[in-house]
């Protein structure tokens, strides 16, 4: 096995990749404090504009030999070994942003639709599949329908 570290922006990380959380991983467990800390980091970045970057810590993923075709696009499949709490929270935040943008003006709506396409593919496949624990149904419902059952 070859281990190769890469550095990605969040946008480039979410392009042409589907993430899977293996069953051996713990369930999503971040509490309000961890979620708020991450959100505050993101909010502070907005204050400084595009000249600032934020180190989101590491994510360890294993690329599988599998690929999935969705429409005309081919996606690499990655199993998340470390960083699933952070990635799950980021995707939840992105979905909330998507919902806000889609209810905005025409320009915002278009941006919201593009962002939503990163999270939920045309055939309802999710960028992040929670294969473990009971939270997977709730997560899937939130990403696809925008509601928490």
User: Which contiguous run of DSSP H or E holds residue 140?
Assistant: helix 135-145
Q: For 26-35, 42-51, 77-86, which range has the lowest pLDDT when averaged over its residues?
A: 42-51
> Which of 34, 28, 57, 13 lies closest to 130 in space, CA to CA?
28
Q: What is the pLDDT of residues 41-69, one digit of tens each?
A: 888 887 876 666 777 788 899 999 999 99
130 pLDDT higher than 80: no
- pLDDT, tens only, 105-121: 999 999 999 999 889 98
Say how far residue 104 (Cα) sits from the centre of its chain. 22
Q: Which residue has the tokens 């396409």?
A: 117
Cα separation, 86 vs 65, whole angstroms: 24
């Amino acid at each position: 096995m070859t281990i190769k570290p890469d550095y990605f922006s969040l946008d480039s990380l979410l392009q042409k990749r589907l993430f899977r959380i293996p069953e051996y991983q713990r369930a999503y467990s971040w509490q309000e404090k961890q979620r708020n800390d991450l959100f505050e980091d993101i909010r502070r970045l907005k204050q400084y504009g595009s000249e600032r970057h934020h180190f989101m810590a590491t994510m360890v993923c294993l690329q599988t030999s599998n690929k999935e075709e969705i429409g005309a696009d081919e996606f690499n499949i990655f199993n998340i070994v470390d960083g699933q709490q952070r990635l799950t929270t980021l995707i939840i935040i992105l979905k909330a942003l998507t919902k806000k943008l889609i209810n905005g003006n025409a320009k915002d709506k278009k941006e919201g639709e593009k962002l939503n396409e990163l999270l939920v593919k045309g055939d309802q496949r999710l960028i992040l599949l929670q294969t473990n624990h009971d939270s997977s149904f709730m997560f899937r419902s939130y990403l696809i329908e925008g509601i928490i059952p």
